[in-house]
């Protein structure tokens, strides 16, 4: 039976492994291999994987182009050095190292006794100066009343004289205009008279018309004479007004020479008033020095101190440093090739190395030059062998409101900002 079954199995296998094939050109049938479902599934899976990788790579490439990142970034802040404004002996230090203080908090106190004495002395000097100025000011109004009225009278006389000159000059101008008008009319009348003379000689006009022209010519001559007389009178008025002005000026000068004693008294009074102002300024300075014995915090922040009780300090000596943690920002040094699409206002995600936190911020500004440009010895590429190096430009990133309310972000920390490009 086994031998009988084995020959039968061979055709079955061959029939499964071959497919009905048409005869070839030579008349012989050809066979092709049969693709199993397992191999077909592997091909489909491979194609799907390749497509997924390509699509994922494309979206990953798109995502990486949406932001720029750098690990060359640190936390920055403006440090506020606190110095003594007056010299003295430190009697009290009200803060410890790394203590948080509010703006206006008294940090250090200097012995105020010497400055209290200086304030009392300045107050006494001011009172003495005010009494002297008051005594001098009493006599000034009494002695200056008559002189002031005299000066006012002579000054008004000068003004009146000047006004009279102006009026007389206007009258003179009007009189000259009248003379010019009369002379012009006279020329016209004389010309008319000449023409009428020629016409009357030819008996082309009546004698009465000619007589009227003669009368008009005589009247015109008289009008010219009257206008000239008015001009002469106006000139005399101008001369008289000028004389009155000279007289008024002389009287005014005489009045000014009178109050020499009053001027001297006023000068002494002014000197006394100036002395009062000086003493008042000295008092204010003494009071300021007394206030400066209490050194206060210019801003809110953490304190680093270098002063202890018993230290004799000098004016300008730095005693503490206040670090305003509420005013920190990020300085990120991006490569110049990373700034192509970066703009002010771009949103930023800041990853802090120390805490692992991510904070929100935005680009505030981009520096006007690269970092080496601000160094003590900037590079000079025109000399020596030049090697092109990609430069870095500082970018200032501001934290959003309330991101550092716990004050865990400190100046000098390393961060990694991701700037999302618009």
Domain count, the chain: 3
Residue 39 falls inside a structural domain: no
Beta bridge partners of 363: 397
What pLDDT, on a 0 to 100 scale, did the predictor assign at position 277?
94
Q: Please work out, in degrees rounded to the nearest 5, the angle formed at the alpha carbon of residue 382 by the alpha carbons of 376 and 386.
A: 95
Residues 6+ apart with CB under 8 A from 85: 289, 292, 295, 315, 316
Q: Of 40, 85, 6, which is closest to residue 316 (Cα–Cα)?
A: 85
Tokens representing 219 are: 């009247």
Residue 34 falls inside a structural domain: no
Residue 358, domain extent: 67-79+324-420
154 lies in the same domain as 260: yes
Contact criterion met (CB below 8 Å) for 292 and 85: yes
The CATH number for 360's domain is: 2.40.30.170
Q: Scan for tokens 């730095």, then name that residue.
A: 318
159 lies in the same domain as 258: yes
271 lies in the same domain as 220: yes
pLDDT in tens, 245-260: 787 778 777 777 666 7
Q: Which residues of 367-400 are buried (b: 16+ CB within 10 A; e: fewer)?
A: beebeeeeeeeeeeeeeeeeeeeebbbbbbbbbe
Task: Look at the pTM and tell me if it is higher than 0.85.
Answer: no
pLDDT lower than 50: segments of the chain:
1-31
316 lies in the same domain as 361: no
259 lies in the same domain as 193: yes
CA-based R_g, the chain, Å: 55
Q: In 10 A of CB 285, how many CB atoms?
A: 13
91 lies in the same domain as 183: no
Q: What is the C-alpha separation between 367 and 334, in angstroms, rounded? A: 11
Contact criterion met (CB below 8 Å) for 395 and 366: yes
What pLDDT, on a 0 to 100 scale, did the predictor assign at position 63?
60
């Amino acid at each position: 039976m086994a031998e009988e079954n084995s020959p039968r199995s061979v055709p079955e296998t061959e029939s499964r492994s071959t497919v009905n094939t048409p005869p070839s050109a030579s008349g012989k049938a050809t066979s092709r291999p049969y693709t199993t479902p397992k191999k077909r599934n592997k091909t489909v899976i491979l194609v799907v994987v390749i497509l997924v990788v390509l699509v994922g790579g494309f979206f990953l490439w798109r995502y990486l182009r949406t932001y720029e990142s750098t690990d060359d970034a640190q936390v920055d802040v403006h440090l506020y050095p606190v110095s003594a404004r007056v010299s003295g002996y430190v009697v009290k230090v009200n803060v410890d190292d790394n203590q948080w203080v509010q703006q206006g908090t008294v940090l250090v106190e200097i012995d105020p006794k010497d400055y209290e004495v200086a304030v009392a002395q300045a107050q006494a000097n001011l009172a003495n100066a005010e009494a002297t100025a008051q005594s001098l000011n009493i006599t000034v109004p009494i002695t200056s009343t008559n002189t002031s009225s005299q000066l006012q009278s002579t000054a008004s006389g000068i003004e009146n004289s000047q006004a009279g000159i102006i009026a007389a000059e206007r009258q003179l101008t009007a009189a000259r205009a009248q003379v010019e008008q009369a002379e012009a009319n006279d020329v016209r009348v004389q010309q008319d008279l000449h023409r009428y003379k020629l016409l009357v000689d030819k008996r082309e006009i009546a004698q009465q018309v000619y007589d009227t022209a003669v009368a008009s010519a005589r009247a015109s001559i008289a009008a010219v004479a009257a206008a000239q007389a008015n001009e002469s009178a106006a000139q005399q008025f101008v001369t008289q007004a000028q004389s009155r002005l000279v007289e008024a000026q002389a009287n005014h000068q005489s009045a000014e020479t009178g109050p020499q004693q009053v001027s001297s008294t006023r000068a002494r009074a002014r000197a006394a008033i100036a002395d009062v102002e000086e003493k008042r300024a000295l008092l204010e300075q003494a009071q300021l020095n007394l206030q400066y014995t209490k050194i206060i915090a210019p801003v809110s922040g953490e304190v680093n101190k270098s002063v202890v009780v018993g230290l004799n300090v000098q004016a300008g000596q730095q005693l503490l440093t206040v670090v305003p943690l509420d005013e920190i920002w990020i300085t990120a040094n991006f490569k110049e090739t990373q700034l192509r699409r970066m703009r002010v206002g771009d949103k930023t995600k800041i990853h802090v190395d120390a805490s692992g936190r991510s904070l929100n911020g935005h680009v505030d500004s981009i520096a006007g030059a690269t970092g080496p440009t601000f160094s003590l010895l900037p590079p000079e590429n025109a000399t020596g062998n030049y090697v092109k190096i990609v430069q870095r430009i500082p970018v200032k990133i501001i934290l959003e409101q309330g991101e550092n309310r716990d004050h865990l972000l400190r100046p000098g920390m390393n961060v990694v900002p991701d700037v999302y490009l618009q």
